Amino acid sequence: MSELFNTSRLCITDTKSYLTLNDQQYFLEQVVEILSKQVVEQLPESFHHIYSLNEAKCWFDRMNNECRVLIVVLNKTSFIVGFIFVYECDKNEANIGYLLKASYWKQGLAKEMLTGFLNWNDLTGKYNNLLAGVSLKNMASSNLLLNIGFSKVSNNDATVFYEYTRNACD
């Protein structure tokens, strides 16, 4: 598997690299497991009701058409524990989203994968600005984004928006 970047416990790769080397059925089974009711509760409707391999394939195809999907795998395993979604606005800005399988919550993996993503972004200079939206009810994600260097920029009735600006000296 060709990694985009690694952290101490995680390997993050592009979907194209992952799927060329791994069984698609196994991947789709993991997608169904990851997109549990608990995980998608505060996410857009398009993440809900993914219960079959066919629904997982449709979801995954739609996501791949909308954005760059990064797969988060536990190092030295084939266990997918989450995804990072990168929606390019223009060549210098992207909206990001992320999710982590519920059984891996509260282990520091979300912070690790996002910090790794920010480090990769800073090293490559890919995006000057990253934006993330979080449900008002999701205090854990809000606190995480603030903790890793995002700043709150606005909110509406349901969502708080955060921005990360890459240091121009990087």
What's the pLDDT score for residue 6?
93
Interval 66-93 mean pLDDT:
91
HEC assignment per residue over the chain = CCEEEECCCEEEEEHHHHHHHCCHHHHHHHHHHHCCHHHHCCCCHHHCCCCCHHHHHHHHHHHHHHCEEEEEEECCCCCEEEEEEEEEEECCEEEEEEEECHHHCCCCHHHHHHHHHHHHHHHHCCCCEEEEEEECCCHHHHHHHHHCCCEEEEECCCEEEEEEECCCCC
pLDDT at 170 over 50: no
- Residues 87-133: pLDDT tens digits? 998 889 999 999 999 999 999 999 999 999 999 999 998 899 999 99
- Residues 13-67: pLDDT tens digits? 987 766 655 678 888 999 999 999 999 998 989 999 999 999 999 999 999 999 9
84, 113 contact by CB (below 8 A) = yes
Q: What is the pTM of this model?
A: 0.91
CATH of domain 3-165: 3.40.630.30
